Amino acid sequence: MYALRWIFLIILIYVIVSMFILAFTQGLGFLSQIVTLSIGGFFGFFMGYFGWMFAHQLMKWISGRE
């Protein structure tokens, strides 16, 4: 568990440093891409989750189990 904290810290540092490097080299245009992809991923995840829940409930209704 202690090693996992170090891995998360290294990933966090990598993300922060890479965002600063991108901001200095390409300007702040990449932030709009990050926000757009984050929103798309958020909705995609929940659409998949709710679809799975609906299919699971539908299978329970079809099989007659409660």
15-40 residue pLDDT tens: 889 888 888 888 778 788 888 888 99
pLDDT score for 31:
81
pLDDT above 80 for 65: no
Which residues have a Cβ under 8 Å from the Cβ of 31 and sit 6 or more positions away?
23
Token digits of residue 19:
């965002």
Report the 10 Å Cβ neighbour count for 60. Answer: 11
Selected residue with higher pLDDT from 33 and 66: 33
Q: Where are the domains of the chain?
A: 2-63
Q: CA 21, 23, 26, 32 torsion: positive or negative?
A: positive
Q: Is the pTM of this model over 0.85?
A: no
pLDDT tens sequence across 33-59 = 888 888 999 999 999 999 999 999 999
